[in-house]
């Protein structure tokens, strides 16, 4: 068994800038919530954020809060509160953590960003492209805050994203506008909408560049870095600070590549991570892989915030296509080709599937995918049982042992 010793982390210098813009983002939300000067929309992570920004809303993402609850492990105290009012422990643990946080009036946003609590919504906007849970989640808050809750029902299991699908989603996005205009107290300015989409597209292009830097060997960043640095791509897409941030980060990573700086010294193995992170074990996983000289170079999760179809000239059509062609909405065959391509592009020699108990939507091991990839590409795979937030579903010992054995298997090959 490989000897375990602490491996120093190589801090990414741009992290300071990221913390600054995230702090500004939450400060602005807090101010708006207190004063009512700006309207606030709550939006699902792959919801129609560009439309909301164009209408002048500040946009808050409960899933980002869910990830924070997982990373701080506060989720473990909060999930039971949601279970107690009828939300099953088997459904999305972002949902149960977040509703638990609301019920118990306990949020890490207070300590981390000096907020006075969750920012109060004026409207709630979802897209079911990722799962049905988000709609139920937002409907809970509709009843609590007595504000409009509306959204888009996106087809799932899609193989080719044909114009039939896109047109149907375009109509739904357009259908949101009258209610959103009423909640915003302003009409939609198409020029502003186009410029927001342009900023979002720039963010996407830069975020893709960040992730693609890991195609280099040795990789200048890990999946664990990606989970932290994706914050602005999620909550600030469509804004200038996100663009500024990723310009800085790409420059730093290009410098690392140019100088041959590796995120993991002596990188020996390159692994792909499919599925959600285990937020409460991010540090442990990061350390274990570092110790094993294994770089988790790419993931389905971090790549899910690349929206290449956004089109400033056709903002409704571009958004409809971008938010319908996500990995999570696609057919099993599409997912298999996507993963095969990623394995090739990133020079991956092993794939880890995280079977996340409360998120079947992001657990791609359940319909024979690992077996098919092993057969087709000869790539070793490992499936880890766990969860994004609910650590009752996760065994530390078992996972550590399985990862060690998996890396030994990679070394033998
Ligand atoms: S995709 Fe999974 S983690 Fe995300 S909201 Fe839906 S059930 Fe929760």
What pLDDT band is residue 7 in, cutting at 50, 70 and 90? low
In this prediction, residue 342 carries a pLDDT of 98
Evaluate if residue 3 carries a pLDDT over 60: no
**Using CA atoms, how far apart are residues 276 and 266, in angstroms rounded to an integer?**
27
Residue 41's pLDDT band (cuts 50, 70, 90): very high
Residue to mutate (ligand 1; options 234, 329, 359; most atoms within 8 A of CB): 359
Listed in sequence order, the residues at least 6 apart from 290 whose beta carbon sits closer than 8 Å to its beta carbon are 7, 9, 264
Q: Distance (Å, rounded) from C-alpha 189 to C-alpha 186? A: 9
Which residues make Cβ contacts (< 8 Å) with residue 361, sequence separation at least 6?
130, 131, 328
352 — phi, psi (to 5°)? -110, 130
Interval 64-75: pLDDT, tens: 999 999 999 999
Q: Which helix (H) or strand (E) is 125 found in, with range?
A: strand 123-127
C-alpha radius of gyration, the chain, whole number: 21
How does pLDDT run across 174-186, given as a tens digit for each residue?
Answer: 999 999 999 999 9
Contact 292, 403 (CB under 8 A): yes
Q: Is the pLDDT reported for residue 274 higher than 70? A: yes
Ligand 1 centroid to 359 CA: how many Å? 6
pLDDT bin (cut points 50, 70, 90) of residue 8 is low
Percent of the chain scoring above 90 in pLDDT: 97
pLDDT, one tens digit per residue, over 348-385 is 999 999 999 999 999 999 999 999 999 999 999 999 99
Residue with CA nearest ligand 1 atom 2: 359
Give ligand 1 pocket residues (Cβ under 6 A): 63, 92, 94, 130-131, 133-134, 359, 361-362, 388
| Higher pLDDT pick, 57 / 9 | 57
pLDDT value, residue 413: 86
Cα–Cα distance measured from residue 67 to residue 65, given in angstroms and rounded to the nearest whole number: 5
Instruction: Note if the pTM is more than 0.75.
Output: yes
Beta carbons within 10 angstroms of residue 222's beta carbon: 27
Q: What average pLDDT score do residues 89-99 get? A: 98
Please give the Cα distance from 99 to 66 (Å, whole number): 9
| Residue 107, pLDDT above cutoff 50 | yes
Going by pLDDT thresholds of 50, 70 and 90, the confidence category of residue 9 is low
Report CA(412)–ligand 1 centroid distance (Å): 36
Higher-pLDDT residue of 364, 11: 364
Q: d(Cα 195, Cα 246) in Å, to the nearest integer?
A: 18
> Exposed/middle/buried for 375, CB within 10 Å: 0-12, 13-18, 19+?
exposed
What residues are paired with 385 via a beta bridge? Answer: 355
Q: Which of 134, 156, 227, 364 to mutate to test the pocket of ligand 1 (most atoms within 8 A of CB)?
A: 134
**Residue from 43, 89, 95 whose mutation best tests the ligand 1 pocket (most atoms within 8 A of CB):** 95
pLDDT at 1 over 50: no
How many Å separate Cα 320 from the centre of its chain?
19
> In the predicted model, what is the mean pLDDT of residues 38-44?
98
Pair 102, 145: CB distance under 8 Å = no
Amino acid 162: pLDDT: 96
Sheet of strand 40-43, all strands in order from the earlier edge strand to the far edge: 58-60, 40-43, 123-127, 149-152
pLDDT of residue 403 exceeding 50, the answer is yes
The Cα 336–Cα 22 span in angstroms is 35
Asked if omega into 218 is within 30° of 0 (cis), the reply is yes
3-state SS class at 10: coil
CA pair distance 137, 96, nearest whole angstrom: 9
The residue with greater pLDDT, 400 or 1, is 400
Q: How far is CA 318 from CA 72, 198, 287, 314, in A?
A: 36, 11, 40, 6
Q: How far, in Å, are 140, 152, 188, 189, 235 from residue 183 at the CA level? A: 19, 17, 12, 15, 20
Distance (Å) from CA 254 to ligand 1 centroid: 33
CB neighbour list of residue 319: distance below 8 Å, 6 or more residues apart: 48, 50, 51, 173, 197, 310
Domains of the chain: 15-412 (3.40.50.11900)
Q: Is 62 helix (H, G, I), strand (E, B) or coil?
A: helix
Nearest CA to ligand 1 atom 5: 134
Pocket test of ligand 1: the residue of 79, 330, 362 to mutate, having most ligand atoms within 8 Å of its CB, is: 362
- In this predicted model, what pLDDT tens digit does every residue of 192-207 receive, in sequence order? 999 999 999 999 999 9
**Residue 218 CA to ligand 1 centre (angstroms):** 32
For ligand 1, what atom is nearest to the CA of residue 276?
Answer: 3
* Cα 45 to ligand 1 centre (Å): 10
Read off the pLDDT band of 10 (50, 70, 90): confident
Residue-wise pLDDT tens digits, 200-226: 999 999 999 999 999 999 999 999 999
Per-residue pLDDT band for 2 (boundaries 50, 70, 90) equals very low
Mean pLDDT to the nearest integer, 137-154: 98
Q: How far is the CA of 222 from the centre of ligand 1 (A)?
A: 23
Q: Which residues contact 259 (CB under 8 A, 6 or more apart)?
A: none
Helix or strand holding residue 112 (H, E): helix 108-113
Model pLDDT, residue 94? 98
Q: How far is the CA of 141 from the centre of ligand 1 (A)?
A: 17
Alpha carbon distance, N-terminus to C-terminus of the chain: 15
């Amino acid at each position: 068994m490989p000897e375990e010793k602490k491996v120093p982390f190589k801090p990414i210098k741009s992290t300071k800038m990221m913390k600054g813009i995230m702090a500004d983002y939450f400060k602005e939300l807090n101010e708006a919530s207190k004063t009512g000067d700006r309207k606030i929309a709550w939006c699902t992570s792959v919801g129609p954020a560009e439309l909301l920004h164009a209408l002048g809303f500040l946009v808050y993402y409960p899933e980002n809060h869910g990830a924070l609850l997982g990373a701080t492990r506060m989720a473990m105290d909060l999930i039971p509160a949601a279970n107690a009012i009828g939300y099953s422990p088997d459904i999305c643990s972002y949902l149960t953590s977040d509703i638990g946080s609301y019920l118990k009036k306990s949020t890490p946003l207070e300590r981390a960003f000096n907020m006075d609590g969750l920012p109060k919504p004026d409207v709630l906007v979802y897209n079911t492209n990722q799962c049905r849970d988000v709609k139920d989640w937002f409907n809970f808050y509709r009843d609590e805050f007595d504000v409009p809750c509306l959204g888009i029902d996106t087809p799932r299991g899609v193989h080719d994203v044909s114009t039939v699908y896109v047109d149907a989603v375009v109509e739904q996005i357009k259908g949101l506008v009258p209610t959103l205009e009423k909640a915003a107290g302003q009409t939609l300015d198409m020029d502003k909408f186009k410029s927001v989409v342009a900023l979002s597209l720039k963010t996407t292009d830069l975020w893709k560049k960040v992730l693609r830097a890991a195609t280099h060997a040795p990789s200048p960043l890990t999946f664990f870095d990606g989970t932290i640095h994706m914050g602005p791509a999620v909550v600030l897409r469509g804004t200038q600070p996100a663009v500024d941030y990723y310009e800085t980060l790409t420059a730093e990573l290009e410098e690392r590549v140019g100088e041959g700086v590796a995120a993991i010294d002596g990188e020996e193995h390159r692994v792909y991570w499919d599925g959600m992170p285990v937020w409460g074990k991010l540090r442990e996983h990061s350390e274990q892989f570092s110790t094993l000289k294994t770089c988790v170079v790419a993931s389905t999760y971090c790549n899910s915030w690349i929206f290449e179809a956004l089109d400033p000239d056709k903002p409704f059509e571009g958004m409809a296509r971008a938010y319908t062609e996500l990995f999570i909405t696609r057919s099993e065959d599409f997912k298999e080709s996507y993963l095969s391509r990623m394995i090739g592009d990133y020079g991956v020699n092993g794939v880890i599937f995280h079977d996340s108990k409360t998120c079947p939507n992001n657990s791609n091991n359940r319909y024979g995918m690992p077996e098919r990839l092993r057969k087709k590409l000869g790539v070793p795979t490992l499936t880890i049982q766990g969860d994004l937030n609910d650590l009752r579903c996760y065994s530390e010992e078992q996972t550590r042992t399985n990862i060690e054995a998996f890396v030994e298997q990679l070394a033998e090959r």
